[in-house]
Structure 1
Amino acid sequence: MIRIFALTPTGRTLAERLCGLYPEAQFEYKPKPFADKVQQAFIQQDQLLFICATGIVMRTLAPVLQDKHQDPPVLVLDEAGQFVIPLLSGHEGGANNWAAQVAEMLGAQLVMTTAKPYVNPTYTLGMGCERHCPLSYLESLMLETLQQQGLTPQDIHSLNSIDVKADETQLIALAEKYQWPFQTYSAEQLMPMEPLLSTRSEYVFNTVGVYGVAESAALLAAQKATDSEPELVVNKIKNAKATCALSRGFGQTK
């Protein structure tokens, strides 16, 4: 859920304009008690947009901040609607993309403070599956993964897995259906991605030699495609027969 907070009459006018752009959003003007309302919304993982000073937002959220992998996206706008700042969870939580969308809608300037330049990312999928997994299980899981980030198959650079899946017929069929390259990597190639994994499975390691096939393959493919440090966009999700993860890199696509 998107929640918009404003503290001034001018900010209220901008908030009402934003509610027209996001009909599903909930708007609160000078809520009381302010800290309790904001912190509760943050804890329940709402997307937060503030029209007020950045310092107010940071002091209010400080007691409930966790880390970039768990905090929801937070944007701050000035009351004139001239600047949009992705304050928290820029890459991991999608605040950068959301801020770019808001800036475009308002004709505002996007103010990026993250280390990486705001360039078009290259998205890569990683998948693992049981032997002879049906295409329907693979495709539905892939589409669910993309939906979490509002992406389409056309946004994807490649489908990737471990080399023991190089002959997995339905992974090959999935890549062919969406006209993606299907790339596989050895356990030795995938192992350097271990520090970036969201979870580590001893069972998977004992079976194929890496702690996670889907995440490792997606990360390595993004790294190779862009020559940049990759990051997970969607941590591994799974159904009864397959796993899927989404990664991205920033830079010139090879």
Structure 2
Amino acid sequence: MKVKSATPVDIFSLTDQGDALAVRLQMLMPGASRHHRPKPFIEIAQSSFRSGHRCIFICSTGIVIRALAPVLRDKYRDPAVIVIDQSGNYVIPLLSGHEGGAVAFAHDIAQAISAQCVVTSAMDYSRPIYTIGMGCERGCPLAFLQPLFEQVCREMDAAVTDSAVTDSAVTYSGLASIDLKADEAGLLELSKSLNLELHLFSAIELRQVEHLLSEKSEIVFKEVGCYGVAEAAALCCATKLTGMPAELALPKQKNARATIAVARSYAP
């Protein structure tokens, strides 16, 4: 079973027992980087954190707090930080539990390694809500939108099948875009065919989640006033439906005329 993350992951260990667990985790997270007793530890850990990578530390929480304290900003910009004991019994979402997705990520890890997830925040999350965000050229026909949607569905279904959280296919609760697409025939047709309400957001609203985007496009900003449509719309839609923070479940994908992304939030 794999643990999915749309954001790069760095795994840090300081003991041989911890490194054995790190090797196991790396096998569950394709693409994750492993750092065993890195030197200098604090500088490398801080560099990873400042780069926005999700950080998994197999060591004491005190070591992590002392290492990262000088570079902490706020829960809206800091990446998820997870702490695991070297025996792999407990998984703790230490920083950015909700806004950064650490709680959900910790639950995934805990289930994958048969550990206990220790959540100390006031509210835990339960049912995931998935939303689709789309951007497209003016006059983009359904023939470009439908295949892109189907491609993403296949990727998401494959991801959750491998996930430790669920073995069922993803269902979507909303389709979203920028308000400039209110009369976009292709999007309206896709919305109708999927039986999903089309949620529209202004550029100002989309900019509220720009810190969560996988990349920012100056070209898109010059055209519509925000740094991305598909990812931002999906995030805004997920938050609108749950009233809770959202995270990217699948970063932006594209074809010749359209872009698409998937966001996830958790209904309390």
**TM-score higher than 0.5:** yes
> What one-letter code is carried by the residue in structure 2 that aligns with 1:182?
E
> What one-letter code is carried by the residue in structure 2 that aligns with 1:50?
F
Cα deviation, residue 56, structure 1: 0.7
Task: Choose from 156, 169, 174 the match for 2:172.
Answer: 156
> Aligned partners of 2:184 and 2:61: how far apart in 1?
51
Tell me, yes or no, if the aligned pair for 2:98 and 2:245 is still in contact at 8 Å.
no
Tell me, yes or no, if the aligned pair for 2:10 and 2:33 is still in contact at 8 Å.
yes
Q: Which moved more, 1:36-45 or 1:70-79?
A: 36-45
2:139 is matched with which residue?
Answer: 132
2:22 is matched with which residue?
Answer: 15
Residue 105 (structure 1) aligned with residue 117 (structure 2): no
Equivalent pairs counted in the alignment come to 242
> Aligned partners of 1:218 and 1:126: how far apart in 2?
4
> Aligned partners of 1:250 and 1:111: how far apart in 2?
18
Gaps in structure 1 of 5+ consecutive residues: none
> Aligned partners of 1:197 and 1:168: how far apart in 2?
23
> What one-letter code is carried by the residue in structure 2 that aligns with 1:169?
A
Deviations 1:159-208 (A, max 9, x none): 1346774553311343356x3413356x7xx7995784438979758xxx
Higher relative contact order (CA 8 A, sep 6+): 2
2:51 is matched with which residue?
Answer: 44
2:73 is matched with which residue?
Answer: 66
DSSP 3-state at the match of 1:58: helix
Structure exhibiting the larger radius of gyration computed from Cα positions:
1
Cα deviation, residue 223, structure 1: 5.3
2:197 is matched with which residue?
Answer: 182
> Aligned partners of 1:16 and 1:71: how far apart in 2?
25
For the structure 1 residues 195 and 183, does the alpha-carbon distance in structure 2 shift closer, same or farther, using more than 3 Å as the test? same
For the structure 1 residues 103 and 59, does the alpha-carbon distance in structure 2 shift closer, same or farther, using more than 3 Å as the test? same
For the structure 1 residues 29 and 243, does the alpha-carbon distance in structure 2 shift closer, same or farther, using more than 3 Å as the test? closer
> What one-letter code is carried by the residue in structure 2 that aligns with 1:72?
P
DSSP 3-state at the match of 2:17: helix
Cα deviation, residue 54, structure 1: 0.8
Tell me, yes or no, if the aligned pair for 2:96 and 2:102 is still in contact at 8 Å.
yes
> What one-letter code is carried by the residue in structure 2 that aligns with 1:198?
E
> Aligned partners of 1:145 and 1:114: how far apart in 2?
32
Q: Which moved more, 1:73-82 or 1:21-30?
A: 21-30
Q: Which moved more, 1:45-54 or 1:20-29?
A: 20-29
> Aligned partners of 1:93 and 1:25: how far apart in 2?
17
Cα deviation, residue 108, structure 1: 0.6
For the structure 1 residues 135 and 69, does the alpha-carbon distance in structure 2 shift closer, same or farther, using more than 3 Å as the test? farther
> What one-letter code is carried by the residue in structure 1 that aligns with 2:65?
M
Residue 168 (structure 1) aligned with residue 184 (structure 2): yes
> Aligned partners of 1:216 and 1:2: how far apart in 2?
22
Cα deviation, residue 244, structure 1: 5.4
DSSP 3-state at the match of 2:12: strand
CA-atom RMSD, angstroms? Answer: 4.3
DSSP 3-state at the match of 1:27: strand
> Aligned partners of 2:222 and 2:23: how far apart in 1?
51
Gaps in structure 2 of 5+ consecutive residues: 1-7, 162-168, 212-219
Cα deviation, residue 74, structure 1: 2.0
Q: Which moved more, 1:193-202 or 1:241-250?
A: 193-202
What is the TM-score when the length of structure 2 is the normalising length? 0.66
> What one-letter code is carried by the residue in structure 2 that aligns with 1:108?
A
> What one-letter code is carried by the residue in structure 2 that aligns with 1:183?
L
1:198 is matched with which residue?
Answer: 210
For the structure 1 residues 145 and 57, does the alpha-carbon distance in structure 2 shift closer, same or farther, using more than 3 Å as the test? farther
> Aligned partners of 1:146 and 1:69: how far apart in 2?
30
For the structure 1 residues 147 and 44, does the alpha-carbon distance in structure 2 shift closer, same or farther, using more than 3 Å as the test? farther
> Aligned partners of 1:223 and 1:5: how far apart in 2?
32
For the structure 1 residues 24 and 128, does the alpha-carbon distance in structure 2 shift closer, same or farther, using more than 3 Å as the test? closer
> What one-letter code is carried by the residue in structure 2 that aligns with 1:40?
S
Cα deviation, residue 137, structure 1: 5.2
> What one-letter code is carried by the residue in structure 1 that aligns with 2:106?
A
2:4 is matched with which residue?
Answer: none
Tell me, yes or no, if the aligned pair for 2:125 and 2:267 is still in contact at 8 Å.
no
Deviations 1:225-248 (A, max 9, x none): 44x245464799697865656554
Cα deviation, residue 7, structure 1: 1.9
For the structure 1 residues 145 and 50, does the alpha-carbon distance in structure 2 shift closer, same or farther, using more than 3 Å as the test? farther
